[in-house]
Amino acid sequence: MKDGLLVKLCGMTNIEDIQLAARYGADYAGVVTEVDFSPRSLTIEQAETVFQLSPLPTVALVYNIAWDRLVYLVQKLQPHALQFLGPENPQLLSRCRDKFHQTELWQSIHLPAAEVNTSNTNISKTANIEAVQTPEQLNADRLTSNNISNNAGNSCYNGELLSPEEAYILKQVKQNMLECYQAGANVFLLDAATKINGKTRFGGTGKTVNWKLARKLIDASPLPVFLAGGINPANIAEAINKVHPSGIDLCSGVEALPGKKDPGKIKALMEGVKKAVI
């Protein structure tokens, strides 16, 4: 990875937007690939030209993709990195580590959206998953009130008081990050999971995460961590200064409409980055 604060602009659907991002100094272009719940998703076939022509290192974002299709994706698109949007899956990371030697493995780590009041009652209304059935959804499961209620009592981390719910999430997420690191992950991205229209969304939500938790996870992480979730030109400097990430990752905050970037917003964002890191 490069030195300095890194910028990944995500949800790219066309080469013009990636060229624009490169001109303004972004470091990575993220393309959501075969994710049916994203309005910005491209099929592998649609993404081919974008990956071939990209002036920036590309990150292919996937969710619950079949193994054969993933192998095909890597052969066809040859991304710089694969980013797994699904809940942490050390077995999958290990399998990819063994198979794809040239490809970095990036893992999204989901936290509740910041405006979610993490009291038991509200968590069950907003971040709880109504049908937690598969092992892949364990990440979402850890946000549920049942889990949290077993961990009552305030905890203190680095002198700062955390609510019982925050302390619970911190402990669980640190453990998951450790397992992913041991399985071969190269980068983590902290992003918001939130319910929109009754469905839990694992990214592209425009919602910020709990920055206090994010900072603590970054301080404890053995790997570089990007901060994602609801970052935009107006809050970028504060995000960098408060959270100290290795990089930032954003999508909707620099869009004119879903899937189309806004040059003015990208320019304003990159100016904010420069101001914050000087």
Ligand X SMILES: O=C(O)c1ccccc1NCC(=O)[C@H](O)[C@H](O)COP(=O)(O)O
Task: Write out the residues near ligand X by the rule CB under 6 A.
Answer: 10-11, 30, 32, 35, 38-40, 61, 85, 191, 202-206, 228-231, 249-253
Report, in Å, the least distance between residue 230 CB and ligand X: 5
Task: Show the beta-strand stretches assigned E in the chain.
Answer: 6-9, 28-32, 58-62, 81-84, 104-112, 155-157, 160-162, 187-196, 199-201, 225-228, 247-250, 255-257, 260-261
How many CA atoms does the CB half-sphere of 16 hold within 13 Å?
A: 5
Report, in Å, the least distance between residue 260 CB and ligand X: 12
Distance between terminal CA atoms of the chain? Answer: 20
Nearer to ligand X, 13 or 118 (CB): 13
Nearer to ligand X, 40 or 265 (CB): 40
φ, ψ of residue 110 in degrees (nearest 5):
-100, 135
CA distance 52 to 122: 45
Nearer to ligand X, 86 or 164 (CB): 86
What residue has token string 């981390």? 157
Nearer to ligand X, 63 or 168 (CB): 63
Residue of 248, 266, 247 lying closest to 256 (CA atoms): 266
Composition of the chain by helix, strand, coil, percent to 5:
40, 25, 35
Report, in Å, the least distance between residue 205 CB and ligand X: 5
Report, in Å, the least distance between residue 229 CB and ligand X: 5
Nearer to ligand X, 56 or 228 (CB): 228
Report, in Å, the least distance between residue 157 CB and ligand X: 25
Report, in Å, the least distance between residue 10 CB and ligand X: 3
Nearer to ligand X, 100 or 202 (CB): 202
Q: At what angle do helices 15-23 and 263-277 cross, to 10 degrees?
A: 30
